[in-house]
Amino acid sequence: MADNLSSLIEPVRLTTTVQDLVRIPSVNPPGDEKKVAEHLFNLLDDEGFRVKRIEQPFPERPQILAVLPGKGERPPLFLNGHMDVVPEGDPSKWDVAPFSGSLKDNRIYGRGSCDMKGGIGVALEVARVLLESGRELKGDLVLTFAVGEETGEPGTKTLLETSNYTDGFGIVLEPTGFKLGVAEKGLAWFRITLAGKPAHCSISELGINPIDKFLALGRAIKSYDEEIRRRVHPLCGPAKCTMTVLRAGTKENVVPESLSLILDRRMNPGEDAEAVEREIKEILEGLATDDPDFSYQLERTRLYESAEVSPDLPQVELLGREIEAVTGQPAEIWGTPYSTDVRNFINDAGIPAVTFGPGDISQAHAFNEFIKVEDLVKATQVILGVAEKLLLG
């Protein structure tokens, strides 16, 4: 733990920063991050950071790339967060206004407080402390604040591409409850459309009912799910395939023209999305071979790749030591069950990165979402300890 640097942390400033961010709604969809991006740009610019608006991939939704430059003697340290938040849902189910940023019992309440404007606040406090310390960095501190994480858009991917960095170490400040995420599951969504032939139900034998075809498909998908659950990752657990959305029919007395099914396929590190798609296609082809009236279309509609780094990396071990120094407990090496932008560092940019940040994932997307001020301060202490050794030591 960087005791000298930690003494420069200002908990009131950190708290106010997170409250201010929560009070700027940045709901996605539809992608309303612009106001919070402008707030962050002005804040960083006023405080003397080298900051840019990155108007890619969406000109109307700027992203933020800020650098506290070093001498270039060491690789950069990236602190990453996403500016978008999920919709707040029914305000009547909140005990406070969803974007109030209310402070009660040392908890900041509001949509995005935990996921993940608290993490952005930590990144800002780390950067401020390093700047105010007056010490010259040996490597750059790089802040990347992205759009579109909640909807799988290429925000962080584009930020890294435009940054021109090719090495370093990244920390994605999603809420992990102080666990250290070195692996994460990926997911792929598939839409399967089964063709039918409409007919009046009084003469239904003249039609082809896609619901009948689904019965065989459903059994096959269930068997597939049971099979792949035997593929167990030591940190991420079993692979999974779940049927989540089913739509068919337009009127009570008409054989449906088509049926649509959505599959949610959770992929462990080491599983390849193209191979997974081939597995699902093989199931469909087998059913089509057995039944000449089984006609289908398969489309992958969303992809978040799985990602993993070695827990034995020196930077990961350093972060683990800093977690233990601050919390008093050994760092728990973890596989996150959810997807984050860490995959853009590891898979797209080739930069090792982990997921670590303040707050508990159980608060993400929940009514009365909150983050503890204590957790914000501790996370800042942890990352300052890492920054001191990577950029100053």
The per-residue pLDDT for 210 is 99
Mean pLDDT, to the nearest integer, of 270-297? 98
Residue 337: what pLDDT? Answer: 87
Percent with pLDDT over 90 in the chain: 98
Same domain, yes or no, for 60 and 87?
A: yes
Strand (E) or helix (H) holding 130: helix 118-133
Chain centre distance of CA 123: 16
Task: Write out the residue range of the structural domain in which residue 268 sits.
Answer: 186-304
Q: How many domains does the chain have?
A: 2
Residue ranges of E strands in 117-236: 141-146, 169-172, 180-184, 186-195, 232-233
User: Which of 238, 269, 304 marks a domain boundary?
Assistant: 304
Asked if residue 2 has pLDDT above 90, the reply is no
pLDDT-derived band of residue 1, with 50, 70 and 90 as boundaries? Answer: low
> Residue range 34-52: average pLDDT?
97
Q: How far apart are the first and last CA of the chain?
A: 13
Residue 313 has pLDDT above 90, yes or no: yes
What would the two tokens of residue 201 be? Answer: 């139900």
Omega before 314 within 30 of 0, i.e. cis: no
Domain shared by 68 and 209, yes or no: no
Residue 208 DSSP class? B
| pLDDT value at residue 317 | 99
- CATH label of the domain that carries residue 13: 3.40.630.10
Mean pLDDT value of segment 92-98: 98
Nearest-angstrom CA–CA distance, 123 and 132: 14
Per-residue pLDDT tens digits for 216-230: 999 999 999 999 999
On whether both 328 and 238 belong to a single domain, the answer is no
Do residues 25 and 87 lie in contact, with contact meaning Cβ atoms separated by under 8 Å? Answer: no
| Whether residue 130 sits in one domain with residue 28 | yes
Same domain for 161 and 37, yes or no, is: yes
**Cis peptide preceding 11, ω within 30 of 0:** no
Same domain, 25 and 142: yes
Full-model pTM: 0.93
Do 287 and 311 have their domain in common? no
Using the 3D structure, point to which of 304, 323, 344 is the last residue of a domain: 304
- Cα distance between residue 81 and residue 353, in whole Å: 13
